[in-house]
Amino acid sequence: METRNGTQQMKTIGIIGGIGPESTIAYYRLLIAGYRRQRPDGGSPSILLNSVDVEKLLALMENHDLPGVIDYLVPEVKRLAAAGADFGLIAANTPHIVFDELQQRSPIPLLSIVEATCAEAKARGIEKAALLGTRFTMQADFYPAVFSREGIAWVMPVADEQFYIHDKYVNELLQDIFLPSTRARLLEVIHRMREQEQIECVVLAGTELPLVLSQDNAAGIPLLDTTKIHVEAAVARLLS
């Protein structure tokens, strides 16, 4: 954007973070690193961070209180706007279950992790994808609804796998616990879906998952790191 005298003014990004804390740290680091790679003259991005209560959000989700999720997050987005953010993002996948409603009530544009990930999958020519995330994310339709518009089919883990992934996500990953045994079991799930369902990629639709599955590929197929994809879209918006 430009000021009245025609000089360039840096855009400011506002982040709803804390859901969870470790992935919020990853967002912050990746944003700075990605911005600097695109700016040979140096400098750092202007970032506002509003860290919210992951336990409160999870409680609302467990109670299937989506209006409560919206009512909780809208004032937090408005707080970022009031502080000077030009656009915002939610540093988590699960809250995107109410993304459309949040965008409608937000005073600033919000950058969707789902739309950004869909664009990446389309660019790679993916036709069939699997999704790992919290139970709320795996059982909702906000990812399939966006991907289906691009003709990308979805495969979800079976019920007992979903239970395992959600349990480990909430009780380990969100608590900053990353165990080799959990990583090994997640890789087994991916391998099974690759062999039985012929998936072409896995969307790590939980921003803590790349912290335990840090490689780019597993079972011979790519793992789409939604954190990195979201950050790359945010850097592009900052520099546009």
Which pLDDT tens digit goes with each residue over 187-201? 999 999 999 999 999
Please check whether residues 150 and 200 belong to one and the same domain: yes
* Confidence (pLDDT) at 2: 42
DSSP-based helix, strand, coil % in the chain, nearest 5: 55, 15, 30
Which of 226, 156, 217, 220 lies closest to 194, judged by CA? 220
* Confidence (pLDDT) at 32: 95
Please check whether residues 185 and 89 belong to one and the same domain: no
Quote the number of domains for the chain: 2
3-class secondary-structure state, position 112: coil
> Domain range for residue 62?
12-112+229-239
Interatomic CA distance for residues 24 and 33, integer angstroms: 14
Examine residue 6 and state whether it is found in any structural domain, yes or no: no
* Confidence (pLDDT) at 8: 52
* Confidence (pLDDT) at 1: 43
Please check whether residues 127 and 106 belong to one and the same domain: no
pTM of this structure: 0.91
CATH code (residue 89): 3.40.50.1860
Please check whether residues 26 and 63 belong to one and the same domain: yes
Task: Say if residue 20 is preceded by a cis peptide, omega within 30 of 0.
Answer: yes
Question: What are the Cα distances from residue 129, in Å, to 3, 35, 143, 151, 171?
Answer: 44, 29, 11, 11, 26
Ranges of residues in the chain with a pLDDT under 50 are 1-7
Please check whether residues 197 and 183 belong to one and the same domain: yes
Examine residue 24 and state whether it is found in any structural domain, yes or no: yes
Please check whether residues 122 and 217 belong to one and the same domain: yes
